[in-house]
Chains A and B, each alone.
Chain A
Amino acid sequence: GQQVMQIPQYQHVQEGEDFTTYCNSSTTLSNIQWYKQRPGGHPVFLIQLVKSGEVKKQKRLTFQFGEAKKNSSLHITATQTTDVGTYFCAGPPSYGKLTFGQGTILTVHP
């Protein structure tokens, strides 16, 4: 079945450093979504990527979808303490249902 692998599992950075998390799928994805979950909170939608090779930016966050639509990445430039949380990628192997990666836990040291 559909598997979405995410690395690294943990990332500790100093405030101001960059951060990247990578997501790989065992099958081609029609699209991929990214969510952020703050400690003690629930997942919050960040973005959806649909097109092969697509790149989208949200302020300091850059999202990429691979050419083969089997991998994706999220890059944060100059992290801030407000970026702390777990970042999940999620692929839709079938109609509507999301398969989440294990997530990357980001901690930012001030």
Chain B
Amino acid sequence: DTGVSQDPRHKITKRGQNVTFRCDPISEHNRLYWYRQTLGQGPEFLTYFQNEAQLEKSRLLSDRFSAERPKGSFSTLEIQRTEQGDSAMYLCASSSGPGHGSYEQYFGPGTRLTVT
């Protein structure tokens, strides 16, 4: 399967714990995005990489959230000191495009986080 993969698919954690999610984009894609989706809502942008550079981060993203893409391939999203409000589906997407256009984004299956 050459699509976007995410690991784990489900994560249950206790409030206050740290969690880390991994995303492996489509190999030839240089752009990688993280979104968060809650029930009944559209995906909400969190952050975006082009290659290894983190180019944009949502103002909604607190300091407890950090993302990396160290070699421009896979990415990790870490949430420190989780809160119940962090419970959501975390979606990763990737796309091609070195220019300033928009390109279709391919989404992974998501990681469903439940904070108890």
Q: Residues of A with Cβ closer than 8 Å to B? A: 6, 30-31, 33, 41-45, 48, 88, 90, 92, 94-103
Contacts and interface: CB of A to CB of B under 8 A. Distances in A.
Contacts of B100: 95
Contacts of B101: 31
Interface of B: 31, 33, 40-45, 48, 50, 55-56, 91, 93, 95, 97, 100-110
A7 B91 CA distance: 24
A76 B41 CA distance: 22
Contacts of B106: 45
Given A45-B104, A102-B42, A96 B91 contact: no
B43 A30 contact: no
A88 B105 CA distance: 13
A31 B102 contact: yes
User: Which of A41, A42, A92, A94 has the most chain B CB atoms inside 10 A of its CB?
Assistant: A42
A98 B45 contact: yes
